[in-house]
Every structure is written in C-alpha cells, then in structure tokens.
C-alpha cells in the first residue's frame, strides 16, 4: 500500500482510496489527474481485490487510452490486459459487435469514416438534383446525433436554409443518408453511441450483463461529454448492489471546458452531485506544471467565471519569472516581436505559439521562417495549402495562364454555379480527345452541352478576369473575384465558414502587404506564394519536431505543456471571439480558452496583442482583451519590442479611431445599374460595401470601390 501512495499528495491519496459509490474528482490543470486515475485502478485491483474484468475506464482519444494501458501494465503487470480501457466509441463498438442484432445490425456491419460519409452524401445530393457541397450536411448530421435529438425537433429550430437548400429538403437528405447506410450494412461513429443507448433501453437483460463487466467505471475529461455520452454513462452506471449508488468516478475540470462547438455540455460536470446524490468530491489543486507567477495570472482570470466549481490552483514551483506582456502597434510587429524573442531564447523544441484562429498563423510562419526558425504547424495545413486559399489563388493562376487545366478544373464549379460532375467529365473528355485546352473546349460549350448557359457565364467571367489580371494588382484582382463569384456568401453557408472567411481576408492582407513591400503584377505575387508554400513542405534533412517551434490554436493545445509559451492576439473580437459576445455562456467559454492557454506554460509565458489589426480588409484599432484587464497589473511585466522594460501596463492613451470610409450618396433605396448583374436596388450600405437586390439573382454584397455601380435617376 505504501509504494502505491508514496508518490501522491494527500488529495490524490484520498481520491485513490475511494472505494464504492459515485465520486467527482475536480482536477485542475497540471494537477496529476491521469496519475490519480491510474493509481485508483491499481488500488482497486491490489487492495480491494476487484477483478480486472470488472473495471472500465473511458477516455476521449485512442492515444490517451493507450497511455493509460501502458501505465497500468507497469503497475499491475499482466492483469492489466483484462481491464477495459477505451474511448466511448470503441466501447460502444465492442458492445454492438456482440449484441448489435437486437437493434437491427447485421453481423459484419461496417463503420463509415469521414470520407465514406462524404461519398454517400454526394450520391444523395446528386440523386436529388442538388448542386450543393456535402460539408454543411455532414455538420447537420453531427449536430443532430451528438445532441441526441430527432430530426423533426432539429428542423423546428434550424435556419430556413441549410447548405443553400430549404431545411425541409435538408431533412430529406438526412432520411436518405440513414436509409442508405442501413441498406449497405453500415453505421457512422455517432450511430455507435446512439444504437448502444437504444440497445440498453430496449434490452434490460443485455444492460445487466454489461454492468457486470463494468462494475467500477472511470470517465476522464468529463467536462467534455456531450448529451449522448452523458446518457450512455448514466445507463452504464446504474446502481451498485445494496443501493449504495453507482461505482462511477468522473474526473475533469469545468475551467477547461472549451468544446461547446462540439456539443460538449459543461453542466454534465457542474450538476454531477445533483445527478448522483451523496457523491464524494475530491479537489486536486496542487499544480506540478507551472510556476507560481503563471498560476497567479491564471487564477485571476478564471475566478471571474460563474459556471465553475470552486478551486484555486497552487503551484509546487514557488516564484518564477514574471509573465511578460507586449503591446504591438500592429499585427505584423507582433509577429516580428515573437520571432525575435524566440531567436534569442533558442531551444526551439521547448516553445509553443498559441492563437485563437488558424488565420493568425500566416504572419507568424512568415517571420519565424525569415529568422531561420524551424516551424511545426499542428492541427492545420500550411496557410497557402488551405482549401479556400488555394481556390482563390487558382482563379489568379488561370487568369495569368488560361491553359492551366488543373486549376481551371478546380474553379469550374467553385463556388457552385450549376456545372455538375457529369458536365465536367464531358468537357474534360472532349479536351483529351481533340487535344485542345480545357479553356478552348469551354468556349465551345454551346455545341457540346444540352444546357450550356452555366459554362458560358463562367467563360464570360474568365474573360473579364483575364483582362483584370494585367490591369490590377493582386489584392484588387482577388477582390474582383470575390465580388463577381459570390465566394464570400458561399463560404458563409459552411459550418466553419467564419474561419474560412478569415483565411480569405488574410490572403487579401498578404497581397496588400506584398504590394507595399515588393510591388509587381499578379503573376509576380503568385510566384512569391509558390515559393513560400514550397517552404512549408517538409524538406529532406529538416529539423525534427523536437527542434521546431510549435504553432497551434488554443483548442489544439489542450492537454499539452511547454516550457515557454507565447499567447498572441489577445484583443476584443479575437479572444474573446466576436461570435461569443452575445451570450454569457459563450463568453465564459472564451475565458476558459484563455485560461487553458495560460496553463500550458511551465516556466515562461509571453502575452501579446496588437493595437491595430486588419479585419475583413479594413485596418481597425483594437482594444486589449477584457481578459487582460481582469489581471492585476502587478502580475504582469510589460516589455518593449526588443524585450526591454516598457511603460506600465495599460498606462497609455488610446489613439482616436480612424473615420470609416464614406459611401457618399448610397443610403439604401437607390436604383443602380451593375455592369454584369444589371439593374437593382440598394438595400444596405455599411463600411465600404453595399448590398444590392438584383431581380432574378437575389442579394449581392459588393465592394463599392470595385463594383462600378451607376446610379439610376
């Protein structure tokens, strides 16, 4: 017993020695929660003589499950092989492989992955004659299934259009998807949990057998469970013999609940003691990761949240370097500062740069590579390899070289314009048979296709862009593409449309920066991009990850730790994100995200923000994040651009915002003529944009600078 407990602190020892009945372990960041769970399982086996086949431990990733198995194998030897350690989905699949026939599954059923789902959805959309992307419908499937709601309930609250089609038609896509999977003897990952719940509710005898196999249940990261995982856990736990309450131990930290967008419900952990009356609560508050100075900042921030369980992290590392704060004049200078500091620090493999959105990575990548710093981008592709960025660049490449068939095929129906896969196949086949370029074949569409109008309209657009490519700079060219194609509106229909729009705006910003620094034509800019994108690819002999600076979003950083962390972009509308400002629950999740970022740092923490940042093509003054203002000034050391001590925190006068551009005579209601869309009516005017209703075409948002609108008396 002594060797089992000697490496644990008193709070961990209490949790480990808990035997029967429900228990909640509130485990703060870096408090050794995995060690506590592993030792508790070992305690049950060694001291309480619990049979290994009666223990279930559920984690959220296969990697975490594997690590837990390895630790247990070292502690309890061969008996670890009889333990049931898995993810929620793996546990459900194991159950359905044995009892799936009770819920209509045939033996040998297959589990569809993301690609399989997308393929099936494409077939259904084609069958229904819908020119729509599968992405929004996959997101709809996930929302319905992760929330455990029926289709009719979802449709009552859904927006009128999903993926560009009426929600009633989207419901038909859902029904055909479910029928198609059953016809092919398949389920998707979400179905694994839903069918297991159905099995337990309809077959109490089966549930009783599973409960015998899972008498002692452990659930890790309980704050991240969604409604379906919550229901499954409740069914599995049941009541222990003698009515003592279920032998369920959940481990988690509501202060690190940051996956609301995945339907995680923080109330699952907040209400645990209501769901399981008499549950014991253990608090792990000793932090082994971060220094005292870092934890003081973390505690000052998170205590402002209302949705939490009371705890205060205490560091076992007394003192520590002060948390540094840098106030950059603009986003480019912020990235330059980060690169300079990292070069001075060295030991690149011990450093991480964290940010709120993937679009922020471009400037950081650029400045780090200029400084010769190897970079490892986690959880995202290189900036210029992102789908929406490549789509827009493809327009530029075709405008410069219309013989580029690869990029021409990429943009032919992007965004969707009614040119389906069968039409593209006919055009490509004609080009291959005649030896003509695809562009030449497109010009002959009238003689090749029964419905040539969409292709003819696309050719007209291309011919306009061919001229624009040699008349404008890259930034103006891309603006014209966005206006003429409705590219922005199409992205807004996607579930991650906000982030994709930010990447588009970042590309426009990159083009404007390049024009200011280098100058030249669209072709020159595309050459520069090609060289930059090539540098993002792993090179032979490149430094391994352990010698590279890690770049990642705050969401991807959860569960990780680094000796030195740079947390950048701490501004209103970025962190907290603009989409989170209307609901208190969303704002508190953003504060938890900031807290997670702070507690990734072990020894050194740098915080930074920019006084000016481009947002949707406009340079705007930004104010520091409200979360920074919640930190007592004495806990931060403000530094200058080269690491020297700067003025006291927040002790400066903010410059007056620049006036927004005037729209002159457009106020709404004016009749106008567009060179491409014809006559219409202005319905809104804001910033540098007007929204015009064109009969037969609908609403078009146009940049006034490039729209060429003519007012009609």
Domain with residue 160: its CATH number is 1.10.10.160
In the chain, which stretches have pLDDT less than 70?
A: 1-2, 108, 115, 239-244, 379-382, 495, 527-528, 530-546, 616-618, 643-665, 667-668, 683-688, 696, 698-699, 705-706, 713
**Residue 201 included in any domain:** yes
**Quick one: pLDDT at residue 667?**
64
**Residue 298 included in any domain:** yes
The neighbouring-strand residues paired with 553 are 355
**Quick one: pLDDT at residue 652?**
36
Same-domain status, 317 and 168: no
- CB contact at 8 A, 225 and 60: no
Write out the DSSP string of 546-578: GGSEEEEEHHHHTT--EEEEEE---BTBBTTBG
Confirm or deny that 382 is annotated as ligand binding: no
Domain boundary pick from 230, 260, 284: 284
**Quick one: pLDDT at residue 534?**
41
Same-domain status, 219 and 242: yes
What predicted TM-score, i.e. pTM, was given to this entire model?
A: 0.70
**Quick one: pLDDT at residue 241?**
46
Domain boundary pick from 284, 304, 333: 284
Catalytic residues: 33-34, 220-221, 256, 600
Task: Say how far apart CA 94 and CA 92 lie, in whole Å.
Answer: 5
Same-domain status, 376 and 389: no
Task: Say how far apart CA 603 and CA 561 lie, in whole Å.
Answer: 10
**Quick one: pLDDT at residue 177?**
92
**Quick one: pLDDT at residue 631?**
93
Same-domain status, 503 and 400: yes
Q: What is the number of structural domains in the chain?
A: 5
**Quick one: pLDDT at residue 653?**
40
**Residue 661 included in any domain:** no
Q: Which domain holds residue 399?
A: 383-533
Please list, in sequence order, all residues whose beta carbon lies within 8 angstroms of the beta carbon of residue 607, skipping any fewer than 6 positions away.
323, 324, 325, 326, 567, 570, 628, 636
- CB contact at 8 A, 286 and 316: yes
Q: E strands along 329-457, which residues?
A: 351-355, 375-377
Same-domain status, 388 and 483: yes
**Quick one: pLDDT at residue 183?**
79
Question: DSSP class of residue 320?
Answer: -
Confirm or deny that 180 is annotated as ligand binding: no
Same-domain status, 497 and 555: no
**Residue 662 included in any domain:** no
**Residue 130 included in any domain:** yes
**Residue 313 included in any domain:** yes
Same-domain status, 61 and 23: yes
Please list, in sequence order, all residues whose beta carbon lies within 8 angstroms of the beta carbon of residue 530, skipping any fewer than 6 positions away.
none
**Quick one: pLDDT at residue 545?**
55
CA angle 628, 633, 637 (to 5 degrees): 95
Task: Say how far apart CA 14 and CA 435 lie, in whole Å.
Answer: 78
DSSP SS3 for 704: helix
**Quick one: pLDDT at residue 538?**
38
Handedness of CA 697, 698, 703, 707 (dihedral sign): positive
Please return the burial class of 329, using the count of CB atoms within 10 Å of its CB with bins 0-12, 13-18 and 19+.
exposed
Same-domain status, 114 and 153: yes
Instruction: List helix spans (H) across 276-326.
Output: 292-302
Measuring CA to CA, which residue among 605, 559, 545 is closest to residue 377? 545
Confirm or deny that 540 is annotated as ligand binding: no
**Quick one: pLDDT at residue 37?**
93
Confirm or deny that 361 is annotated as ligand binding: no
**Residue 503 included in any domain:** yes
> 């146009």: which residue's tokens?
702
Same-domain status, 413 and 519: yes
Domain boundary pick from 478, 509, 533: 533
**Quick one: pLDDT at residue 382?**
63
**Quick one: pLDDT at residue 380?**
58
Instruction: List helix spans (H) across 84-226.
Output: 88-99, 114-127, 135-146, 151-157, 167-183, 189-202, 204-213
Same-domain status, 509 and 422: yes
Confirm or deny that 33 is annotated as ligand binding: yes
CATH of the domain at 249: 3.40.50.300
Same-domain status, 453 and 521: yes
Measuring CA to CA, which residue among 404, 430, 418 is closest to residue 530? 404
Confirm or deny that 27 is annotated as ligand binding: yes
Please list, in sequence order, all residues whose beta carbon lies within 8 angstroms of the beta carbon of residue 339, skipping any fewer than 6 positions away.
364, 367, 368, 370, 371, 373
**Quick one: pLDDT at residue 608?**
96
- CB contact at 8 A, 264 and 592: no
Same-domain status, 373 and 389: no
Task: Say how far apart CA 607 and CA 47 lie, in whole Å.
Answer: 47
**Residue 663 included in any domain:** no
**Quick one: pLDDT at residue 645?**
63
DSSP SS3 for 219: strand
Handedness of CA 533, 537, 542, 548 (dihedral sign): positive
């Amino acid at each position: 017993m002594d060797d089992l407990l000697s490496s644990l602190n008193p709070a961990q020892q209490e949790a480990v020695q808990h035997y029967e009945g429900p228990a909640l372990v509130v485990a703060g960041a870096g408090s050794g929660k995995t060690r506590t769970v592993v030792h508790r399982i070992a305690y049950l086996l060694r001291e309480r003589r619990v049979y290994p086949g009666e223990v279930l431990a559920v984690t959220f990733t296969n990697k975490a499950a594997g690590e837990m198995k390895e630790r247990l194998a070292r502690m309890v030897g061969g008996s670890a092989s009889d333990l049931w350690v898995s993810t929620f989905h793996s546990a459900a699949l194991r159950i359905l492989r044995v009892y799936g026939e009770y819920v209509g599954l045939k033996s040998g059923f297959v589990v569809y992955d993301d690609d399989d789902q997308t393929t099936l959805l494409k077939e259904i959309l084609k069958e229904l004659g819908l020119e729509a992307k599968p992405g929004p419908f996959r997101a709809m499937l996930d929302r319905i299934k992760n929330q455990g709601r029926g289709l009719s309930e979802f449709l009552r609250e859904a927006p009128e259009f999903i993926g560009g089609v009426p929600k009633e038609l989207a419901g038909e896509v859902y029904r055909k998807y479910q029928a198609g999977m059953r016809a092919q003897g398949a389920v998707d990952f979400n179905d694994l949990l839903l069918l297991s719940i159905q099995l337990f509710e309809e077959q109490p005898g089966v549930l009783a057998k599973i409960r015998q196999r899972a008498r002692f249940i452990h659930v890790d990261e309980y704050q991240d469970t969604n409604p379906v995982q919550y229901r499954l856990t409740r069914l599995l736990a049941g009541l222990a013999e003698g009515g003592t309450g279920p032998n369920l131990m959940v481990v988690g930290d509501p202060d690190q609940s940051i996956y609301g967008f995945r339907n995680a419900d923080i109330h699952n952990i907040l209400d645990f003691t209501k769901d399981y009356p008499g549950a014991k609560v253990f608090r792990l508050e000793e932090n082994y990761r971060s220094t005292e100075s870092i934890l003081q900042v973390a505690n000052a921030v998170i205590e402002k949240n209302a949705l939490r369980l009371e705890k205060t992290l205490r560091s076992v590392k007394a003192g520590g370097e002060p948390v540094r704060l840098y106030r950059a004049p603009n986003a480019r200078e912020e990235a330059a500062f980060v690169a300079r500091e990292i070069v001075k620090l060295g030991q690149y493999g011990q450093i991480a740069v964290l940010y709120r959105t993937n679009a922020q990575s471009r400037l950081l990548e650029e400045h780090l590579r200029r400084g010769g710093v190897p970079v490892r981008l986690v959880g995202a592709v290189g900036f210029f390899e992102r789908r929406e960025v490549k789509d827009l660049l493809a327009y530029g490449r075709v405008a410069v070289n219309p013989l580029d068939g690869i990029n021409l095929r990429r943009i032919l129906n992007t965004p969707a314009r009614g040119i389906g896969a069968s039409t593209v196949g006919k055009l490509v086949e004609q080009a291959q048979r005649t030896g003509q370029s695809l562009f030449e074949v497109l010009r002959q569409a009238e003689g090749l296709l029964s419905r040539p109008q969409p292709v003819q309209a696309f050719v007209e657009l291309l011919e306009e862009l061919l001229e624009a490519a040699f008349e404008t700079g890259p930034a103006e060219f891309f603006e014209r593409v966005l206006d003429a194609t409705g590219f922005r509106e199409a992205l807004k229909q996607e579930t991650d449309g906000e982030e994709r729009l930010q990447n588009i705006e970042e590309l426009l910003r990159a083009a404007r920066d390049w024009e200011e620094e280098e100058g030249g034509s669209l072709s020159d800019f595309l050459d520069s991009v090609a060289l930059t994108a090539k540098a993002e690819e792993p090179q032979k002999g490149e430094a391994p990850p352990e010698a590279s600076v890690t770049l990642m979003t705050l969401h991807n950083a959860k569960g990780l730790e680094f000796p030195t962390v740079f947390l950048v972009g701490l501004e209103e509308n970025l962190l907290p994100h603009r989409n989170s400002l209307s609901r208190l629950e969303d704002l508190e999740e953003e504060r938890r995200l900031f807290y997670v970022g702070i507690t990734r740092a072990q020894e050194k923490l740098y915080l930074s923000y920019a006084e000016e940042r481009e947002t949707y093509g406009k340079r705007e003054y930004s104010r520091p994040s409200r979360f920074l203002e919640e930190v007592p000034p004495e806990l931060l050391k403000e530094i200058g651009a080269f690491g020297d001590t700067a003025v006291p925190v927040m002790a400066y006068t903010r410059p007056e915002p620049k006036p927004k551009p005037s729209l002159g005579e457009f106020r709404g209601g004016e009749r106008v003529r567009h060179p491409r869309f014809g006559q219409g009516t202005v319905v809104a005017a804001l910033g540098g944009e007007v929204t015009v209703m064109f009969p037969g075409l609908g609403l078009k948002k146009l940049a006034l600078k490039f729209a060429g609108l003519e007012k009609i008396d």
